[in-house]
Homo-oligomer: A and B are copies of this chain.
Amino acid sequence: MRIDGALLEQRLDELYKIGTEPGGGVYRPLYGSAWAEAGDCVERWMKKAGLEARRDAVGNLWGRLDGTKKGKVIVTGSHIDTVRHGGRLDGALGIVAGLTAVEALLKEKGKPRRTLEVVAICEEEGSRFATNFWGSRAIVGAIDSPDAAMAEAMRERGLDPATVASAARDDIDTFVELHIEQGAVLETANVPLAVVSAIVGTAHLELAVTGRPDHAGTTPMDMRRDALAGAAAMVQAVESIARSLGKPAVATVGKIRAEPDQINVVPGRVVFTVDLRHSDPGARRALEERTRSLCRTIAAERGLELEVRVLHERPPVPMHAEVRAVLTRAAQECGVQATELVSGAGHDAQILAARCKVGMLFVPSVGGRSHCPEEHTDPGHLELGVRVLVRALELLAY
């Protein structure tokens, strides 16, 4: 089916004007004014496309096209909030693509058999409150009452914090989302499209290494208990373990802090974080266990103490086999041999998987850039992604 590529780009441009930040990019934090403005914009588009728009109790925006038969619905969309200095495509693409796809289907194919909905999920990024996946967690009924600050922010948007439980749905059959890869695997492999096989499981650890602060001049090398030299060996170990486990294992030390942080004092304490990801639950655990074990060995060898704290843990979530098959078939029918890819980033689909079948399509990110103003995908790739999404929705709902 033909897609209006110019309209797609124009809508993405329009959303990217909402919440612009000095220094580049946009910021549309949950329940902020830019967030509200972007929602109003999408709602106008939904109505214009002939969809019935409504907002649920947490502010997820739904655009519904009733099917001719009763039964569970097919949903597509993404999140409307952004990180600080966010780009033009993360989240926005899934909403605009879903709307464009459903609009095209209605125009070309008429009413679907199954009800189709486009959703602008209110929050995924956690960049205002510590609430990652607030919107999708509300849909699967997995949120608690908002705290005072958040409740106040909801009331400012006319939402009643007491009713968040009513956002839960059990009538969704399938959720499909088009998203940018946010990495450079597709670009490097010169592949225009991927069907996501799974979303990785993540563990965030905090490692605190304690040695002894010493004078950098008067303490011979063999009398030191240097927390930073030990931590450096651990950072190296984290990298080696992920490399040796092989793809899709990744491990990252993103934050590090040394104390007392003086040029002429041997660091007595270092705290650093480790972000570990794998799509296989066993391999994810192995990654963590090897990291803990090797870091313990390094600490023991150097007379250092080591404390490991788990900050956050999420299991891997496989995409549903049926949805993957539909997406793969849709790609083939659009003339594309899509690759399979593990998503290293988190997405709403991993939450929605608790209540419905889920699947995702990735289009390439130029240079792998995301969460920044440089976020970009070739317009041809965007259009291809939407064409495959249209065909997949057609296969699912018509």
Contacts and interface: CB of A to CB of B under 8 A. Distances in A.
B248 A255 contact: no
A84 to B, nearest CB: 10
Contacts of A265: 252, 254
Given A254-B264, A258-B254, A239 B226 contact: yes
Interface stretch (A34-42, A105-113, A214-222): A214-222
Nearest to A242: B221
Given A229-B236, A239-B229, A256-B258, A215 B371 contact: yes
Nearest to A182: B218
A229 B234 CA distance: 10
B256 A218 contact: no
Which interface residue of A219, A226, A231, A263 has the most chain B CB atoms within 10 A? Answer: A263
A215 B344 contact: yes
A255 B202 CA distance: 29
Nearest to A235: B232
A214 B365 CA distance: 12
Nearest to A312: B263
A125 to B, nearest CB: 11
A266 interface: yes
A255 B250 contact: no
A221 B236 contact: no
Interface in A246-291: 247-256, 258, 261-267, 273, 275, 277
Nearest to A214: B368
A204 B219 CA distance: 17
Interface in A193-218: 200, 202, 204, 214-218
Contacts of A311: 263
A184 B220 CA distance: 9
Interface string A181-195: 111110010000000
A223 B185 contact: yes
A354 interface: no
A370 interface: yes
A223 B253 CA distance: 16
A243 interface: yes
A6 B333 CA distance: 96
A309 to B, nearest CB: 12
B258 A263 contact: no
Contacts of A95: none
A371 B218 CA distance: 12
Contacts of A253: 228-229, 232, 267
Nearest to A220: B247
Contacts of A184: 219, 223
Contacts of A371: 215
A345 interface: yes
23 contacts: A181-B218, A183-B214, A184-B219, A188-B223, A204-B264, A215-B344, A216-B254, A216-B275, A216-B277, A217-B344, A217-B346, A220-B248, A220-B250, A221-B249, A228-B235, A228-B253, A229-B239, A229-B253, A232-B232, A232-B253, A233-B236, A252-B266, A253-B267
